[in-house]
């Protein structure tokens, strides 16, 4: 039986996560293609979770994924926004700062929180981290 991983009110496929993490650097292009082509929110969130774990594991060249990640800069999904903001907070990609500010402003003007958490908390934390120079 596949053991699920639960994070931020989401459940992920443990064997899929383990396979990507074991693939390390070689798994990045496969993950990039999945993120480039998927329109399924659950799959996108799972792939963002995997990518976040890859960053935590110290896999190199993760900043090169920004062009793929930027596809989601206009998303209204609280789950995708939350994971994306956490990833941007860790990577400190200069081009991601503007989209984070836009996300926060749009969410403040037209709140559409669905779910159990508020993405603005992570987005605001990521913005503060940029302002502080990545020390958060």
Mean pLDDT within 115-123:
81
Which residues contact residue 43 at a Cβ distance below 8 angstroms, ignoring those fewer than 6 apart?
34
Query: Would you state the structure tokens that stand for residue 96, as one six-digit string?
Result: 């991601």
Mean pLDDT within 30-39:
96
- From CA 89, how far away is CA 133, in angstroms rounded? 10
Nearest residue to 54 via CA among 79, 20, 88: 20
pTM for the full predicted model: 0.86
Residue 134 is predicted with a pLDDT of: 61
- From CA 11, how far away is CA 136, in angstroms rounded? 27
CATH-assigned architecture of domain 4-131: Alpha Horseshoe (1.25)
User: For the stretch 108-121, what's the b/e string if a residue is b when 16 or more beta carbons lie within 10 angstroms of its beta carbon?
Assistant: eeeeeeeeeeebbe
Domain spans in the chain, listed from the N-terminal domain onward: 4-131
pLDDT by residue (tens digit) across 78-116? 889 999 999 999 999 999 999 999 999 998 888 766 666
**Per-residue confidence at 133, pLDDT binned at 50, 70, 90?**
confident
Per-residue pLDDT for 124 more than 70?
yes
Query: Would you state the structure tokens that stand for residue 125, as one six-digit string?
Result: 């934390």
CB 129 within 8 A of CB 89: yes
pLDDT by residue (tens digit) across 65-77? 999 999 999 998 9
Which residues contact residue 15 at a Cβ distance below 8 angstroms, ignoring those fewer than 6 apart?
2
């Amino acid at each position: 039986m596949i053991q699920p991983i639960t994070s931020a009110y989401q459940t992920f496929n443990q064997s899929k996560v383990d396979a990507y993490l074991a693939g390390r650097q070689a798994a990045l292009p496969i993950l990039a293609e999945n993120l480039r082509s998927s329109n399924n929110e659950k799959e996108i969130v799972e792939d963002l979770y995997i990518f976040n774990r890859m960053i935590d594991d110290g896999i190199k060249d993760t900043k090169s994924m920004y062009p793929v990640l930027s596809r989601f800069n206009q998303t209204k999904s609280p789950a995708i926004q939350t994971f994306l903001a956490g990833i941007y907070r860790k990577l400190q990609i200069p081009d991601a700062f503007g989209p984070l500010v836009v996300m926060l402003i749009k969410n403040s003007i037209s709140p559409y929180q669905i779910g159990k958490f508020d993405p603005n908390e992570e987005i605001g934390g990521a913005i503060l981290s940029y302002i502080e120079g990545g020390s958060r």
